[in-house]
Amino acid sequence: MDIKITKTDCPSPKPDSSTLEFGKTFTDHMFIMDYSSDLGWHDARIVPFANISLHPASTVLHYGSEIFEGLKAYRRADGKVQLFRPIENIRRMNNSAERLCLPQIPEEDALYILDTFVGLEQDWTPSAEGTSLYLRPFMFGNDESLGVHAVHNATFMIIASPVGSYYKEGINPVKIMIESEDVRAVRGGTGYAKCGGNYAASNRAGEKAEKKGYSQVLWLDGVERKYIEEVGAMNVMFKIDGKIVTPKLTGSILPGITRKSCIEVLKSEGYTVEERLLSVDELFSALESGKLEEAWGCGTAAVVSPIGELMLNDKKYTINNGEIGKVTHHLYDILTGIQWGRLEDTFGWTYPIK
């Protein structure tokens, strides 16, 4: 595949990484590629970062056909930049595309695109502790018509944003509200796809939680509102009576790459990891009997995020005295160690950029 590169005439100065706010600063260039059912994917190009123009009837503006990915480029101590399991993001994007009837991108082309784009923008990867270059691939349906059907035209883009450390003040446990009214997704729906629509449906509960002083929502299953699903933009894990328990991928949960990596690390170290249904009742009886030892969220942004307090129907429950647990801390050290190249990558998860 051929990528036409047009470089900017006026490169921006690199920001000071201590002042970065998530997703507000963007690099000098962006990747774009068009799809039509006649031509397939075509016109792959890297161009100066700029606004894009859309037909007012463009599918994405009316029917929400949009999917995205999120991954990071990390700067190692030797100055090289590397990605973490990019092939997993590419496979998940193609699964999301299949669910939303958007076109898939062959894995080797998608990897070549990422490699070329990050190669061009790698100087934007900050080097301070905990910082990275966040990559946001996304795809949207772009027919110029109000008819409702699977699209004939689509656009795929990648933008990149240098991001500061998620934990500037140390890894502080978060307070999470269990949402018992709104649901994020249902089996048979789009819960397992990383699509914008899932987020649009989540915002109301997120706002409610924020007003009560909680940072994120813990979703329950959409049918019985009984089983734990996931937290905001993170999967969730618990240590109950020595075992690790995480909700199984039923179709309404996003299959996180951090989740998968945590499970693989834990299993390699001999932990018992159960991927199964976990009801709120079971969780609270574990809390009351003192068997709930740790709880944490896991996702690319925070890696792991300890949960110090859960609220259900205005009742509050503290976990592990509101402190980060041992397993949570250990997972953080292992995953960030591999991502930033401080630890040897015995799993073969890192992908260096040339």
Ligand X SMILES: *Cc1c(COP(=O)(O)O)cnc(C)c1O
Which amino acid, one-letter code, is at 63?
Answer: Y
**Contact string 50-79 vs ligand X (x = CB under 6 A):** --------------------x---------
Nearer to ligand X, 246 or 320 (CB): 246
Verify binding: residue 258, ligand X, rule CB under 6 A: yes
> 89 vs 142, which CB is nearer to ligand X?
89
CA distances to 70, 224, 305, 334, 350 from 134, rounded to whole Å, are 7, 36, 18, 20, 15
What is the closest distance, in whole angstroms, from the C-beta atom of residue 260 to ligand X in the complex? 8
Instruction: Write the single-letter amino acid at 141.
Output: G
DSSP codes, 235-282: EEEEEETTEEEEE---SSS---HHHHHHHHHHHHTT--EEEE--BHHH
Q: Is 35 helix (H, G, I), strand (E, B) or coil?
A: strand
Q: Which is nearer to ligand X, 222 or 256 (CB)?
A: 256
Whole-number Å distance between alpha carbons of 238 and 229: 12
Residue 171's identity, in one-letter code, is I
C-beta of residue 323 within 8 angstroms of C-beta of residue 173? yes
Tokens 């592990």: give the residue.
320
Asked if residue 300 binds ligand X (CB under 6 A), the reply is yes
Mark the segment that binds ligand X (CB under 6 A) among 51-59, 93-101, 250-258, 332-340. Answer: 250-258
| Shortest separation between residue 61's beta carbon and ligand X, angstroms | 21
Minimal distance in Å, beta carbon 258 to ligand X?
Answer: 3
122 binds ligand X per the rule CB under 6 A: no
Considering only the stretches 17-25, 59-67, 232-240, 336-344, report the one whose residues sit in contact with ligand X under the rule CB under 6 A: 232-240
Strand duo 216-220 + 174-178: pairing = parallel
Distances (CA, A) of 10 to 28, 48, 158, 173, 292: 9, 9, 20, 42, 55
Distance, CA of 92 to CA of 89 (rounded, Å): 5
State which of residues 131, 142, 235, 305 lies at the interface with ligand X (CB under 6 A).
Answer: 235
Bridge partner residues of 137 (DSSP): 158
Binding residue for ligand X, selected from 299, 306, 308, 341, defined by CB under 6 A? 299
Yes or no: say if 27 and 124 are a contact pair by the CB < 8 Å rule.
Answer: yes
Based on the shown chain and the rule CB under 6 A, indicate whether residue 222 belongs to the binding site for ligand X: no
Least distance to ligand X, CB of residue 235, Å: 5
- Quick one: 300 or 305, whose CB is closer to ligand X? 300
117 versus 192: smaller Cβ distance to ligand X: 192
Burial of 335 (0-12, 13-18, 19+ CB in 10 A): buried
* 94 in contact with ligand X (CB under 6 A): no
Residue 254 touching ligand X (CB under 6 A): yes
Q: What amino acid is encoded at 177 in this protein?
A: M
- Closest to ligand X by CB, 179 vs 230, is 230
Which string of x and - marks every residue 179-198 that binds ligand X (by CB under 6 A)?
---------------x----
Considering CB under 6 A, how many residues would be counted as binding ligand X? 13
Select the residue interacting with ligand X from 154, 218, 244, 257 (CB under 6 A).
Answer: 257
Residue numbers of the site for ligand X (CB under 6 A)? Answer: 70, 194, 230, 233-235, 254, 256-259, 299-300
